[in-house]
Amino acid sequence: MIRDEKHIPNAVIKRLTKYLTCVQDLLSQGEEWVSSHELAEILSLTSSTVRQDLTYIDFSGISKKGYECRTMITVLSRLLGADIKWNVVVVGAGNLGKALALHEEFARRGFNICGIFDVDKNKIGEKVGKLVVRNLKDMPKMISSHDVDIGIMAVPSMAAQNVADLLIASGIKGLLNLSLTHIIVPRKVAIIDSRVIASLMELTHSIKSKRV
């Protein structure tokens, strides 16, 4: 049987990450099975959405019992790439960059942070946990020699596109953009925005519109 990895819509992928972490929590609490209704309840969704989403993955539930947590975790992990190790560099050794480099949850989730870089002479040489802040110029070498997949960009907006271009030229496969600026990347490079300030603006709009 040929596995057809059909294209999965972005909205579905976002929810699949939620299913994965949710079911991991449930399993750690001793739940072996979960139904679409339970998942929907926990994640503020409809059971229809849950079942529809799960048709995208190579995995079936069982009538009357629901979905087996262990299997679901295995299949979702493989699909999302949560079952393998990823090498990551952080660019920008400001507060945010350093915090991310120190965040234990990354290692626990398979993201091995193997370098942190900056252009600021005052920051270069600074210790960040087991790492030392290095000159951005040395980054391309590092990316190719250590087979780095992902670049986390915690740099000022002004520098973001240039840093992205350098990462891309060095052969990076995916970027996580934490700056406010929109980054333009070639089709072959994956990029996700995780812009905390933009999220705060969404939040303030939502707060305003709730108090009518």
Residues that bind DNA (CB under 7 A): 9-12, 35-37, 45-49, 51-52, 54-55, 60-67
Binding partner of residue 12 among a copy of itself, DNA, none, CB cut-off 5 to 8 Å per kind: DNA
Tokens for 86, please give them.
Answer: 């990823």
Binding stretches for a copy of itself (CB under 8 A):
5, 7-8, 10, 13-14, 16-18, 20-22, 25, 42-44, 79-82, 86, 94-96, 98-100, 102-103, 105-106, 109, 111, 149-150, 157, 173-176, 178, 180-182, 184, 188, 190-194, 196-211
Tokens for 105, please give them.
Answer: 């949850």
Residue 12 neighbours by CB under 8 Å, 6+ apart: 53, 56
Q: Which is nearer to a copy of itself, 137 or 162 (CB)?
A: 162
Amino acid at 81: G
- Asked if residue 123 lies in contact with residue 133, where contact means CB atoms within 8 angstroms, the answer is yes
As beta bridge partners, residue 64 has: none
Q: Which is nearer to a copy of itself, 32 or 202 (CB)?
A: 202
Binding partner of residue 201 among a copy of itself, DNA, none, CB cut-off 5 to 8 Å per kind: a copy of itself
Binding partner of residue 36 among DNA, a copy of itself, none, CB cut-off 5 to 8 Å per kind: DNA
- Asked if residue 88 lies in contact with residue 97, where contact means CB atoms within 8 angstroms, the answer is no
Q: Dihedral of CA 181/185/187/190: which sign?
A: negative
